[in-house]
Structure 1
């Protein structure tokens, strides 16, 4: 029986080396190797920390033995949020619950995802919706693929006729025809916010260290991913126009790997503020923060919470021309492979801060609300902004939540202050 046993002191790791295993060969491995006091496990050694791939959780987790302090980077059934059909199912359930308990106005706060149906199981329901709204553009997405694979847009119902073939059950037979891969079909956002005539979406990182109680950290830095081609609804078959995934855009003939198609979240915030004013942009980012909380609450009761597990989610958010944010999807394994030097620095700092929040070295007090560029957004309830904070990044940020998406701060200086404060507090009897 597979197991991950670890010998450990009763009260924690203390000053021992932290032994890690990593299933990936990219930025996370660089971070782990560069971290003082951490050592890679060779052969059959026992790790304290395991950055595993999702298939390991599926195949091995239920049969593994874990010592108290061991940490893994996925929850057992993370797919309740990260598989497209289940994410929508959970969000719809939350919306119905909010309407029953608090009324339609409260339920409308969950209206941040497009009309969505699972195919083939909801095909006939989708057809009814399609016929009520002729002329809409729809987008088809396989539920369990990533990097833009298998996605296509369509206007006519007959465009998915070939896909539908083979879904019918053969009566009086133990066999079925070859069933197509499960997809979701969504109303396509036809009025995306454009910059330089090009569509973009935003990748934002959210760290969940517990579901019971819900404990959520929000990373200040992220990036906007732009399409390589100017937006047009006349060419819905052109992936370079409609799909902003780097995996898709980097195959464009004129793609520049150094420049890429990215802006930092700080650049995007400054641009939007210049165009629309502070108040409108603050409302936009407040709405985005609500997306994180409602989406996590939608699956909170079904996620199998485990003290060994944490999850770094990659949220993909689209902004439309009315400055309304839409949740496109949530990734359980956001790409940690850097596309250029700036991207590497962002991801290296992000992953280091994930380890700082987890604090396997036991250097912090556990009461911190800011660690590196992570801010504690939710701790069994909303974390409210500390009135004592007066630094520049807050001066024009009129929000009560402890959230600073796209705001600047010196990450290393913040960490230095956090660790110094924690050390001083631990010395106080």
Structure 2
């Protein structure tokens, strides 16, 4: 997607190197910034290189929806903590982290800010891995960096390293990485300050709750056919499909099975093979059990794939190239339906096996990189065809719930750039190497048991992609505003997200979303509005911070997915046609946007 951040951001690399060198020469933070990015008389910035720089659903009978692998506030904490979940943490609390935290020498100190690709756009805060050091902010900035304590101490360790302090005040923060608001509390999204970042998109449980996901996928399958939406097992949702399932049960051939899953429970709880129709629950789903799993050392396995939705409107989707292979503790057999450690791969289930020890962790959890080598060695299979199918599953499944998340964001969030979402996809691979979507997890658990090859680089990339900026005040009105102590060009600029659409912009959007001819739609790029420029620079800057993540939507090839949207989205068309025009001449496209930013068109109404 967009530009290649390795090849097309060379001047950014030079800029960061300058900052790193100065960090080691004893210069102050403000000296570093004034030399890295200076403000000209007209307000534009010049670098050292000389370049101007259904909205909410509820799970019946389950209460609040929770994903299948979420941090469960009722379960025992996975961290070394002496307080109950939700209790305010002591300021000295340091979560246990398994990865190598040996810090590199002083020559490797990372800059505290990531500059924008464009002039007159504030930088974002730089989050680094545990083995890295980062240049520290002065107290005037640190006082503004508030992180709401969540259930994840691993994430907390990352943000504290970058200068944040932890608060329990949910009305005064700029970053919150926790569990989502529940359906009955959706309106609480309205309290997210527009300059803050929250790691959940309203109505994301349309993907995270199994019954709601099934409803969306079945709806798409009926509309577009199994050729497009044939990547999930036959599924019935209760109570809506109870009579239809009874008919399917009666017609089930001997030897085939159905698996029952509660709508929103986690950690494999409540999952069982159905042996009697009387056991059908009043809510949840029944899913046809896939009898031909790919086995590793005779045991059942699946893949945990991590997907980040950076924005819902426009839709921007990324996939992390490293993931986890989850393997059951016991050998696969259809003779023992009551053994969950045979049929389920959840770590929460398999760690309860009497034979499990930490020494056997590699036996039940391996990296996705290992899996690709395993397929090549034992089956002669290449990674790319399977990976492409998984990416197709990811995009199409997100589109099954996109309209609800888009509506929720428009209804409850003041700034569409405030919310993002990490999903954990559970992908089953059958013995024909076909990937199947089993479920999608909201708030996938990232703990000490998550492979360090995944959590270390992925968490830093997620936080950087969130685009956290220094707020224009400390959020505490009782203490007054300390804006004068922080250079103005470093703090967030409300003009980037508070501008309402003008009548001219509304007319343009209505005109081009009504067009059916794609060749005529391309004219929307001929004269960009201020709102167009804001969307484009936000998208390019996010992509520039993606680290190891791979952008899978939009790309120059993803216009084929437009037909799966309930209705055309103007911002999706904008990004699509931009890439169609500039994907082979990306620097030219960047220069076009830079010229607008130098004129400050993106800051105008």
Give TM class, smaller chain: 0.7 to 0.9
Establish whether residue 330 from structure 1 lines up as the match of residue 446 from structure 2: no
Q: Aligned equivalents of 1:57 and 1:116: distance in 2?
A: 23
TM-score, structure 1 normalization: 0.75
Q: 2:457 aligns with which of 335, 340, 349?
A: 349
Establish whether residue 285 from structure 1 lines up as the match of residue 387 from structure 2: yes
- Secondary structure at the aligned position of 1:349 is classed as helix
Q: 1:197 aligns with which of 298, 308, 315?
A: 298
Note the 1:27-426 alignment, pairs <5 A: 27-34=154-161, 36-41=162-167, 46-55=172-181, 58-59=184-185, 61-62=187-188, 64-99=190-225, 107-135=226-254, 136-154=256-274, 156=275, 159-161=276-278, 163-164=279-280, 180-260=281-361, 261-279=364-382, 281-303=383-405, 304-305=408-409, 306=413, 307=416, 308-339=418-449, 343-344=451-452, 346-361=454-469, 366=541, 368=543, 371-379=546-554, 382=557
List runs of 5+ in structure 1 lacking aligned partners. Answer: 1-9, 100-106, 165-179, 385-421
Is contact 2:258–2:287 with CA below 8 Å preserved after alignment?
yes
- Secondary structure at the aligned position of 1:312 is classed as strand
Establish whether residue 26 from structure 1 lines up as the match of residue 127 from structure 2: no
Q: Aligned equivalents of 2:171 and 2:403: distance in 1?
A: 35
Structure with greater strand share of residues: 1
Once the two structures are TM-superposed, the CA of residue 29 in structure 1 deviates from its matched residue by: 1.7
Is contact 2:322–2:453 with CA below 8 Å preserved after alignment?
no
- Secondary structure at the aligned position of 1:229 is classed as strand
Cα-to-partner distance string for 1:354-374 (whole Å, 9 max, x where unaligned): 011122248996163672221
Q: 1:14 to 1:118 in 2, by over 3 A?
A: closer
- Secondary structure at the aligned position of 1:316 is classed as strand
Q: Aligned equivalents of 1:75 and 1:300: distance in 2?
A: 10
* Larger radius of gyration between Structure 1 and Structure 2: 2
Once the two structures are TM-superposed, the CA of residue 54 in structure 1 deviates from its matched residue by: 2.3
| Aligned-residue RMSD, C-alpha | 2.9
Q: 1:370 to 1:359 in 2, by over 3 A?
A: closer
- Secondary structure at the aligned position of 2:403 is classed as coil
Q: Aligned equivalents of 1:287 and 1:211: distance in 2?
A: 22
TM-score, structure 2 normalization: 0.54
Is contact 1:258–1:339 with CA below 8 Å preserved after alignment?
no
Is contact 1:201–1:225 with CA below 8 Å preserved after alignment?
yes
Q: Aligned equivalents of 2:456 and 2:182: distance in 1?
A: 24
Q: 1:323 to 1:30 in 2, by over 3 A?
A: same
Once the two structures are TM-superposed, the CA of residue 214 in structure 1 deviates from its matched residue by: 1.1
Once the two structures are TM-superposed, the CA of residue 209 in structure 1 deviates from its matched residue by: 1.5
Cα-to-partner distance string for 1:190-249 (whole Å, 9 max, x where unaligned): 110001101011001000021222110111111100000000011111111001000000
- Secondary structure at the aligned position of 2:214 is classed as helix
List runs of 5+ in structure 2 lacking aligned partners. Answer: 1-119, 126-140, 471-489, 491-537, 560-589, 599-605
Cα-to-partner distance string for 1:374-406 (whole Å, 9 max, x where unaligned): 11110277469xxxxxxxxxxxxxxxxxxxxxx
Q: 1:30 to 1:130 in 2, by over 3 A?
A: same
